[in-house]
């Protein structure tokens, strides 16, 4: 991801940043890729905001992957 915002919460709330995370989640094809994305510097609240624009099917798939990683 280019132009990673600073550690400030407001930087992570920028629409462009949320859109990038949304795109990453939407293109995520397996639990391993999701784990890599989640293991980065992106705060959890950004995933929550970005996931709101995903389809119900994609959200459910990601939810299952998260559960399987516990």
Give tens-digit pLDDT for 3-14. 444 556 778 999
Query: Strand ranges (DSSP E) for 17-69?
Result: none
Q: Can you give the residue ranges of every domain in the chain?
A: 13-69
- Residue 58's contacts (CB-CB under 8 Å, 6 or more residues apart) are 25, 26
- The confidence score (pLDDT) of residue 69 equals 82
Look at the pTM and tell me if it is higher than 0.75. yes
Question: For 9-16, which contacts have Cβ atoms below 8 Å and span 24 or more sequence positions?
Answer: 9/43, 9/45, 12/42, 12/43, 12/45, 12/46, 13/46, 13/49
């Amino acid at each position: 991801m280019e132009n990673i915002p600073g550690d400030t919460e407001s930087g992570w709330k920028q629409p462009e940043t949320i859109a990038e995370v949304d795109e990453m989640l939407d293109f995520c094809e397996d639990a391993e890729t999701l784990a890599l994305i989640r293991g980065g510097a992106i705060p959890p609240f950004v995933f929550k905001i970005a996931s709101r624009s995903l389809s119900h099917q994609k959200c459910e798939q990601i939810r299952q992957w998260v559960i399987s990683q516990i």
